[in-house]
Structure 1
Amino acid sequence: MLDDTDRRILRYYQSDPDMSASILAEQAGVTATTLSRRLERMRDIGVLKGVRSVINWPALGYEVEVSLRVTLDKTQPRAFDEFIAAARQVAEVIEIQTFLGQVDVRLSVIARDMAHYQQLYRDQLLVLPHINDIEALMQVARVKGQESLPL
């Protein structure tokens, strides 16, 4: 599917997504036309899903990040769908993951401070449907947050 040239392009691209196409082509050792063609092919086959911004939440005043591990009442046939639909409506929920095992869903929640988190928790999170159990893990530090892979 991907050859060494594709991997080289991806390696440079993920290290600096803002790099101009001409510099990326030069670093990857291909022409601008080849680069363009290969990036387009990687988009078409789903290797590249898009470009996104990474937001520094503390710079915007969100100092608290909490991971909520939720176990749902699985006796309800639509528990997952209804819980996820409701969780999507909470603006401070920035990530939703589902799992197989003891924990069904993990929510990443941001808040300005502990008072804001407490209000979110009571007013918007605890009232989400079909919660059987919920565990909050307060993030102390992000030790590794890099999303790039060794290519």
Structure 2
Amino acid sequence: MIELDDIDRSILRALQRDAAVSAGALGRRIGLSQPATWRRIRRLEETGVVKGRRLRLNAEALGFGVTVFLGVKLARKGKISLEDFERAVSAIPEVQTVEHVLGLYDYRLRVVARDLPDFERVLRRRIMTLPGAGEVEANVMLSEERRPGPIGAD
């Protein structure tokens, strides 16, 4: 585990809010030069604290008005069925995240769809036909509040 100081934490909080912020703008905000800020960001990336920066798309603005969290229990378990399921589910464009979890279900999926009939089509034709797919529980997202990660707020 890497030791983080207050400046590192400030950088991480800022990047959680806006990963596209420039090192210069971020440095001005926290009182560091652009090169010093960039070196710290690179160190955080190289040590694995920052695993990458992603662009978040607004699914609703793109016509995907429904987000559903699926709990999927595999019908049969084993290394081959896990790998087959993961490979197949990752190829479905509507599936945004695939998480292998411990608990009532084996996988937690985040699925986007244009509307409920579109979600039903994705569920019946794509997800339920996956190798090893068994029981499924769906939870439709009503709203979302983005919260800061474990670094906390300013």
Question: Do both share a fold (TM > 0.5)?
Answer: yes
Q: Residue 128 of structure 1: CA displacement?
A: 0.9
Match of 2:115 among 98, 101, 113: 113
Structure 1 alignment gaps of length 5 or more: none
Residue 35 of structure 2 corresponds to 33
Residue 147 of structure 2 corresponds to 146
Q: Is the 8 A contact 1:12 1:28 kept in 2?
A: no
Q: Tell me the secondary structure at the aligned position of residue 85 of structure 1.
A: helix
Over the matched positions of the two proteins, sequence identity in percent amounts to: 33
Q: Residue 105 of structure 1: CA displacement?
A: 0.4
Root-mean-square deviation over aligned CA pairs: 1.8
Residue 80 of structure 1 corresponds to 82
TM-score normalised per structure 2: 0.87
Q: Residue 9 of structure 1: CA displacement?
A: 2.2
Q: Residue 35 of structure 1: CA displacement?
A: 1.0
Q: Give 4+ residue runs of structure 1 displaced > 4 Å after superposition.
A: none
Match of 1:123 among 119, 122, 125: 125
Q: Is the 8 A contact 1:73 1:79 kept in 2?
A: no
Match of 2:57 among 55, 60, 63: 55
Q: Is the 8 A contact 1:63 1:112 kept in 2?
A: yes
Q: Residue 76 of structure 1: CA displacement?
A: 4.3
The total of aligned residue pairs comes to 150
Partners in 1 of 2:148 and 2:92 — Cα distance?
Answer: 25
TM-score normalised per structure 1: 0.89
Letter of the aligned partner of 1:146 in structure 2?
R
* Alignment pair present for 1:93 and 2:108: no
Partners in 1 of 2:28 and 2:70 — Cα distance?
Answer: 45
